[in-house]
Amino acid sequence: MDPVLIGEILAALMFVGVIGVLLIGFPVAFSLAGTALIFGLVGWVLGVYDPSNYGSLVGRYIGMMTNEVLVAVPLFIFMGVMLERSGIAEQLLLTMGKLFGNLRGGLGLSVILVGALLAASTGVVGATVVTMGLISLPAMLRAGYDPKLATGVICASGTLGQIIPPSTVLIFMGDMLSGINAQVQMEQGNFAPEPVSVGALFAGAIIPGLVLVGLYASWVIFKAITDPKSCPATPVPEAEKDGLLREVVVALIPPLLLILAVLGSILAGIATPTEAASVGSVGAMILAALRGKLGLSILRQAVISTATITSMVFIILFGAAVFSIVFRTMGGDNLVHEFLSSMPGGAIGATIIVMFIMFLLGFILDTFEIIFIVIPITAPVLLTLGVDPIWLGVMVGVNLQTSFLTPPFGFSLFYLRGVAPARVTTGMIYRGVVPFVILQLTGLIILFIFPQLITWLPDLIYH
């Protein structure tokens, strides 16, 4: 049999094999590396893989550890954890709830707005869903909200951290797409390619994030008009009205200033994402200190949580590097290129197929796992076919956010299920999130039809 064909068959089996191993329940990083090593050994025996290729891993790992862009990841995670531990998120939720309480659906709208603010200041999905589930869900249920609407709003708003900058997912995606785009452009004879920066990806994600916030809010307003009993008003007691304006200012202004300092400095070109993340981390500690919450115990918890999350993400990245080397060397690249290039509809058809595969993988894998496996394999083909790298990165982010919400395996649903009271059944959570999944898909279609919603701001700022 032709060695090239044997290699491509092994590469395809390896991709299927790693999904199977993950479904059994093995840790992701070790599943990726372990499956690759096993198939690499089989390939070596059959004469289609050279183990000396593993030698390039050293350079890759050193490159990852010395990559200045990726230093922003632990810093943004620390910023988010610090804001959550210091009670700023809780104060925001409670205050915004009072501000919109006189309106039908007001609590739901406040959860969406706070979800967007927390996304722009933390970027940590799990923490946001759990925080809002613990604080907002009991308040919404006490106010007489339909549990389905309440849980749907919380799950959807909590996942905004996936797409609204400074998303850690976008940082990794920007770093990967930058290298892939440069490689593709040089192969096409362009030796001075237009750089793809994390800042440009952040700029591209702002309008789509606002589109999603608008769609969520529209649904709550629609429910308030057509089904008032599902989201009644929660008027603020007269005794609490006097100090409400001051309370809103105290709760809202500090996080807004932090968001403006971090995102504004990146988009204005004053600071790199890493420098802005440093400012954000220090700013989060200052806000915690002003609230009297910057004790050694809080700091210790934040540091340990940051180290845990960062280690988890980077060890997956290291495992994915082993997988990528074996897959590519055995001809997986050619297999993917042939498969996507043969799709009807050219670049559009190929993009839809990749998005659909990523959406399905979102049921069983975490976002980082998906982008580390799928982006290096599929992005070179899509960029070669003429897909805009910024548009692709943002679309992938919104797509994976959708799979985060989709029953029965959406991660956000499990986060909320863990903190929801027993009277809120899993069925209620599943039914409540369905309208928001439809809104997410609507958002994806809008971004597909009007790509300028993604590319306009990066073009304006960076060209």
Amino acid identity, position 301: Q
Three-state SS at 193: coil
Q: Which of 77-86, 214-223, 326-335 is the most confident on average?
A: 214-223
Alpha helices in 193-272, H assignment, sequence order: 198-226, 238-241, 244-267
Q: Quick check: is 25 in a domain? A: no
Dihedral sign for Cα 432, 438, 444, 446, please. negative
Residues sharing a CB contact under 8 Å with residue 55, sequence separation 6 or more, in sequence order: none
Residue in this structure with the two tokens 């290699």, named with its chain if needed:
7
Q: Is residue 110 part of a domain?
A: yes
Residue 363 lies in a domain: yes
Please check the confidence at residue 122 and state whether its pLDDT lies above 70.
no
Reply yes or no on whether the pLDDT at 124 is more than 70.
no
Residue 38 lies in a domain: no
Lowest mean pLDDT among 7-11, 262-266, 291-295, 379-383: 291-295
Burial class (CB in 10 A: 0-12, 13-18, 19+), 193: middle
Q: Which of 433, 364, 390, 442 is nearest to 133 (CA)?
A: 433
Confidence of residue 121 (pLDDT cuts 50, 70, 90): low
Question: For the chain, what's the residue count?
Answer: 463
For 419-463, what is each residue's pLDDT tens digit?
A: 888 888 888 888 999 999 999 999 999 999 999 999 999 998 877
| Residue 127: per-residue pLDDT | 66
Do the domain assignments include residue 23? Answer: no
What value does the mean pLDDT take over residues 233-248?
Answer: 73
Which two structure tokens, joined as six digits, stand for 233?
């008003």
What value, to the nearest 5°, has the Cα angle with vertex 318 and ends 121 and 67? Answer: 55
Across all residues in the chain, what is the average pLDDT? Answer: 85
Peptide bond before residue 166 is cis, with ω within 30 degrees of 0: yes
Q: Amino acid identity, residue 263?
A: L
3-state secondary structure of 177: helix
Q: Whole-angstrom Cα distance, residue 113 to residue 220?
A: 12
Query: For the ranges 194-198, 262-266, 360-364, which has the lowest average pLDDT?
Result: 360-364
Tell me, yes or no, whether 129 lies in a domain: yes
Range from 17-26, 42-51, 177-186, 283-292 carrying the lowest mean pLDDT: 17-26
Q: What is the pLDDT of residue 94?
A: 78
Count the domains in the chain: 1
Question: Using CA atoms, how far apart are residues 201 and 394, in angstroms rounded to an integer?
Answer: 7
Residue 241 predicted with pLDDT over 70:
no
Instruction: Note the pLDDT of residue 218.
Output: 94
Residue scoring higher pLDDT (342 or 390): 390
pLDDT at residue 414, rounded to an integer: 78
Average pLDDT over residues 340-361: 86
Q: How many CA atoms lie within 13 A of 271 on its CB side?
A: 16
For residue 393, the model assigns a pLDDT of 93
When pLDDT is averaged across residues 245-260 and rounded to a whole number, the result is 83
Amino acid symbol at 60: R
What is the amino acid identity at position 82? M
pLDDT above 90: residue 246: no
pLDDT digits (tens, 9 = 90+) for 188-228: 877 777 778 888 999 999 999 999 999 999 999 999 999 88
- 174 vs 88: CA distance, rounded Å: 29
Residue 146 lies in a domain: yes
Distance CA 129, CA 152 (A): 11
Cα(425)–Cα(430) distance, integer angstroms: 9
**CA distances, 208 to each of 111, 115, 200 (Å):** 19, 15, 14
Q: State how far the Cα of 463 lies from the Cα of 451, in Å rounded to an integer.
A: 17
Domain enclosing residue 168, as ranges = 55-462
Question: pLDDT value at position 126?
Answer: 66
Please report whether residue 33 resides in a domain. Answer: no
Residue 240: pLDDT above 80? Answer: no
Q: What DSSP string describes 389-430? A: HHHHHHHHHHHHHHHHH-TTT-HHHHHHHHHS-TTS-HHHHH
Q: Which one-letter DSSP state was computed for residue 145?
A: -
How high is the pLDDT of residue 203? 92
Rounded Cα gap, residues 210 and 275, in angstroms: 25
So what's the pLDDT on residue 103? 82
Closest CA to 202 of 301, 129, 278, 271: 271
Q: Please give the residue that has the higher pLDDT: either 173 or 292.
A: 173
Cα 376 to chain centroid distance, Å, stands at 17
More confident residue, 122 or 309: 309
Confidence of residue 396 (pLDDT cuts 50, 70, 90): very high
Q: Are 390 and 402 contacting, i.e. CB atoms less than 8 angstroms apart?
A: no
pLDDT: which is higher, 463 or 280: 280
